[in-house]
Amino acid sequence: MGNEMIDVPLAGTAIANQEVFAETLQSLAALDKQVVVVTSDSRGSGKLVPFGKKYPAQIVEVGIAEQNLVGMAAGLASTGKKVFAVSPACFLTARALEQIKNDVAYSNNPVKLVGISAGVSYGALGSTHHSLHDFAVLRAIHNITIIAPADGFETAQAVKQVAALSQPFYLRFGKKPMPLLDIEDTIPFEIGKGRVVREGDDIALIATGETVYPALQAAHKLASEYNVEATVISMHTIKPLDEELLAQVAQKCKAILTVEEHSVYGGLGEACAAWLLKNRYHKAFDLMGIPDEYTVTGSQTEIFNHYGISEEGIAHRALALLRV
Amino acid sequence: MNLELKSREYRRKILKYILKAKAGHTGGSLSCIDILNVLYNEVLNVNPANADAFDRDRYIQSKGHCVEALYVVLADKGFFPESDLETLCQYQSHYIGHPTRKIKGVEQNTGALGHGLPISAGVALAAKMDSLSYRVFTLLGDGELPEGSNWEAALSAAHYKLDNLCAIVDLNGLQITAPTTEVCNTEPLDKKFESFGWAVRHVDGHDIEALRAAFGALPFEKEKPSVIIAHTVKGKGVSFMENELKWHHGVPTEAQYKLAMAELESPLAPEGGI
Ligand SMILES: [Mg+2]
C-alpha cells in the first residue's frame, strides 16, 4: 500500500456491521442448509427478521435464555451444523460465560458466537446493556478466536470465513453505521492478520471494531494539522494477536497507541502491551478505552467523546504520547 | 452375562479404580451404574468401531462427576482398554475426574452442572431438523436440578417437541451437603416436568427389568420429551456406603474396599436383587 492512500477521503456508504452480518448470513444460508442461527428473542436487534422469514427451518429461537442459547448451540454444532448463536454481547458473554467456556471452547463445539450491539452500542440504556468485559473474559479462555470487525467489508469477510471453519469463534458487532475504511478495496481480510489501513512512521494507532474509524480520522487530522504520520491498523482479530504486524510497527514507529470500545483492563491494549514488553519493544505506549469507573451516561457517540475515543481525543493522546 | 451380574462387576471396578486413584465420586457412581448398564448394553445405538457415526445415539452425562461409572462401562463396551483406567486422575492422564472428549466414547466435556440438558436438547433438535432417527439421552443428578439452565432447556425441549430426547434423573436424594430436600427442595419433580411439557415416568433405578421397560417405552408420549425419574440409593450395593453422605466422594480404605468386595462378590439373591 502506497502513500497515495493517505489522503483518500473517508467515504462510502455507512452500514451497521450487524446489518451486514445478517445479510451475509442470509446469503450463506441460501447456499448451505447446515447454516443455522440461534437467537434469544434477539432477531430484531440482530437484524435477523428477514432471515427468519426466508429461512424458517434454519432459525432456532430459544427465548430469553442465554445459557440455553449457548448450550443448545453447542449441541447443534456438535452434529456438524454451522451454528451462529446471536445475542446482545452484554448478555451472551456474561450470563452464558460458563456455557461458552465449557460447552463451546472446552468441548470444542464449533459455535460462532455473535455478540451484537456490543461495547456501548446501547448507549443510554446503561451498563446492564454494555459489554466492556467480553474481550477480557474470552481472551482468558482457551480455544476461541475473537474478532471485532471495523466495517462492512471486514464483517462480511469475517462471517464468510468463520462459517467455513470448524472451530469456536466470537464475533462482536455494533449497530452504528460504519463507513468503509478502504473504499478502493485493496486490503484483504484474513483472520488473525491486522489490516493496515494507513501507513506512517511516527505513531501506530492500533484500534479494533468501531474505534478504527475515529482512529483513522485522527490520523488524517494528525497529518494535516501537525505533520505527524500515523499508521492505522484495524486489529480485528483480538486473539490470536497479529504479533508479526505488532513487531513491524514497533520497529517502524516511535510510539504505539491502542484504541478499543472495551474496558482498559484485559482487552486489545493490554494484549499489545504485554506482547511488546515481553519482546523487549520498550516504546512510548498508551491505551485508550473505557476507564475503570461508573461509565458516563449518554449515547454511544457521547460516551466515546467523553472518553476521548474521537478524532479530536485520539489525536490529542497521540500528540501527548509523542512528546513524552 | 446377565445385566444384574454385570452391574455387580461394574460396581467392583468402580471401587477398584477409585481406590487406585484415591479419588472419585463413589456414592453417585454406584447410584447411577444400573442406569448406564441398561443404556449401554441394551438401549444405545453406539459402536466403538464407528464411534463418530453421524446417526449414533448420544449419551451425555450431565452429572459429570460420576465419571467412574461411565469409564467402567465404556471400557467394558470396548471404547478403550480397561487398563487405561489404571491412570485415573494421574498426571497427564486424560482419564480425569470428569468426562472429556479426549476419551473415545465421551460425547461432551461435562463437569459443571446444569449443562447436559441444554446441549442434549441441541443435539436432539439437530436430529429433528435433519430428519434423523437417533436419540439423545442425558443423565442428571438430583443435586444439579436447581441450576436454572436445566429449566431453560426443559422449556425449549418441549417447545420443539423433542420426543427423541430422554433425560434420566438419578434421584438418590443426597448431595454433598445434605439430603436434596433440605438443600433445595425440587419436589414434586414429576409435576414440575409435566408442567414444563414433558412426559414423566418413575422407575426403580436399580431394577434392571424396570429400567429396560422404561427405556423400551420411549417416547412416553409422541411430540414430548421424556424424563425418567430413577429412584436410586446413593452408594447402592455396598451396605455401609448406602445413603451415607460421606460417600459422596469418599474413598475407601483398603479394609473398607475388602469389605465392599466381599459384599459385591457374594452370590446374588434368587430374585436377582443385590
Ligand atoms: Mg444426588
- A320 Cα–ligand 1 center, Å: 61
Identify the pLDDT of residue A2: 35
A183-219 residues labelled b (16+ CB within 10 A) or e (exposed): eeeebebebeebbbbbbbebbbbbbbbbbbbbbbbbb
Our measurement of the distance from residue A63's CA atom to the centroid of its chain's CA atoms, rounded to an integer in Å, reads 26
pLDDT at A146 over 90: yes
Which residue(s) pair with B141 in the sheet?
B170
Residue B273, domain member (yes or no): no
Mean pLDDT, range A236-254, rounded to an integer: 98
Q: B237 near B212, Cβ under 8 Å?
A: no
The answer as to whether B95 is a domain residue is: yes
User: Is residue B43 over pLDDT 80?
Assistant: yes
Mean pLDDT across B217-245: 98
Res B270: pLDDT: 57
Take residue B106 and report the three cell numbers written for it. Answer: 465421551
Cell 467523546 -> residue: A305
List, by residue range, all CATH 3.40.50.970 domains of chain A: 11-178
Q: Is the pLDDT of residue A123 over 80?
A: yes
Q: Has residue B61 got a pLDDT over 70?
A: yes
Pairing of strands A15-16, A177-178: antiparallel
pLDDT at A9: 39
Nearest Cα residue to A17 out of A172, A134, A145 = A172
**Predicted confidence (pLDDT) at residue A257 exceeds the cutoff of 90:** yes
Listed in order, the ranges of chain A carrying CATH 3.40.50.920 are 195-322
Q: Does residue B272 carry a pLDDT above 50?
A: no
Q: Is residue B75 part of a domain?
A: yes
Task: Kindly identify which residue of chain A lies nearest to residue B106, measuring between CA atoms.
Answer: A107
Order the strands of the A237-239 sheet from edge to edge: A59-61, A35-39, A82-88, A112-116, A169-172, A145-147, A237-239
Question: What's the angle, vertex CA B134, arms to CA B132 and CA B137, rounded to 5?
Answer: 140
Q: How far apart are CA A217 and CA A305, in angstroms?
A: 13
Residues 52..111 of A with a Cβ closer than 8 Å to B: which? 57, 60, 62-63, 65, 67-68, 70-81, 98-99, 102-103, 106-109
Contacts of A227 (CB under 8 A, 6+ apart): none
Q: Quick check: A99 pLDDT over 80?
A: yes
Rounded mean pLDDT of A108-131? 97
Question: Is residue B154 a contact partner of residue B116, using CB atoms and an 8 Å limit?
Answer: no
How confident is the prediction for chain A on average, in pLDDT? 95
Q: Mark yes or no for CB contact B125/A60 under 8 Å.
A: yes
User: Range of B253's domain?
Assistant: 3-264
Q: How far is B111 from chain A (nearest CA, A)?
A: 9
Is omega for the bond preceding A240 within 30 degrees of 0, making it cis?
A: yes
Per-residue pLDDT, averaged over A36-54, amounts to 94
A57: nearest CA partner in chain B? B129
CB A134 within 8 A of CB A170: yes
Per-residue pLDDT for A141 more than 80? Answer: yes
Mean of all residue pLDDT scores within chain B: 96
- Name the B residues in 78-107 with CB < 8 Å from any A CB: 100-101, 107
Surrounding ion ligand 1 within 5 Å at CB are B 141-143, 172, 175
pLDDT above 90 covers what percent of chain A?
A: 93
| pLDDT tens readout for residues B20-33 | 999 999 999 999 99
Can you list the alpha helix ranges (DSSP code H) found in A195-236?
212-226
Q: What is the predicted pLDDT for the residue at A7?
A: 36
Comparing CB atoms, the residue among A68, A76, A98 nearest residue B153 is A68
What cell was used for B49?
468401531
pLDDT above 90: residue A5: no
Give yes or no for residue A179 having a pLDDT over 80: yes
Question: What's the confidence (pLDDT) of residue B267?
Answer: 78
DSSP 8-state assignment for residue A222:
H
Decide if B203 is inside a domain: yes
Show the cell assigned to B80: 478403550
Assigned CATH topology for domain A11-178: Rossmann fold (3.40.50)
Is-contact A315 A218, C-beta < 8 A?
yes
Before A214, cis peptide (omega within 30)?
A: no
Find which of A67, A68, A87 to mutate to test the B interface (most B CBs within 10 Å of its CB).
A68
Residues of chain B in contact with residue A103, where contact means CB-CB under 8 angstroms, are 108-109, 115, 118-119
pLDDT band of residue A4 (cuts 50, 70, 90) is very low
B205-208 LR contacts (CB < 8 Å, sep 24+): B205/B31, B205/B32, B205/B34, B205/B35, B205/B170, B205/B171, B205/B230, B205/B231, B205/B232, B206/B34, B206/B232, B206/B233, B206/B236, B206/B274, B207/B34, B208/B3, B208/B4, B208/B7, B208/B34, B208/B37, B208/B38, B208/B272
Overall number of domains in chain B:
1
Reported ipTM: 0.96
Report residue A324's pLDDT band, with 50, 70 and 90 as the boundaries. low
Asked if B186 is an interface residue toward chain A (Cβ–Cβ < 8 A), one would say no
User: What's the predicted TM-score (pTM) here?
Assistant: 0.96
Reported as a single tens digit per residue, the pLDDT across B122-163 is: 999 999 999 999 999 999 999 999 999 999 999 999 999 999
Determine the pLDDT at residue B53: 97
Does A195-322 carry CATH code 3.20.20.70? Answer: no
Q: What is the pLDDT of residue A114?
A: 98
What pLDDT, on a 0 to 100 scale, did the predictor assign at position A254?
Answer: 97
pLDDT in tens, B64-114: 999 999 999 999 999 999 999 999 999 999 999 999 999 999 999 999 999
Whether B113 is in a domain gets the answer: yes
Assigned domain for B272 exists: no
| CA B75 – CA B85 distance, rounded (Å) | 8
pLDDT, mean of residues A73-96: 98
User: Rounded to a whole number, what is the distance in Å from the CA of B5 to chain A's nearest CA?
Assistant: 34
pLDDT tens across B168-195, in order? 999 999 999 999 999 999 999 999 999 9
Q: How large is the average pLDDT for residues A314-324?
A: 93
Separation CA A274–CA A24 (nearest Å): 35
* Predicted confidence (pLDDT) at residue A33 exceeds the cutoff of 90: yes
Residue B274 is assigned to a structural domain of this protein: no
Q: Which of residues 16-45 of A touch B (CB under 8 A)?
A: 36
Residues of A in contact with B149 (CB under 8 A): 67-68, 71, 99
pLDDT at A44 over 60: yes
Region A184-210 average pLDDT: 96
Q: Which of B108, B120, B159 sits opposite A107 (nearest CB)?
A: B108
The predicted pLDDT at position B271 comes to: 53
* Residue B127 belongs to domain with CATH number: 3.40.50.970
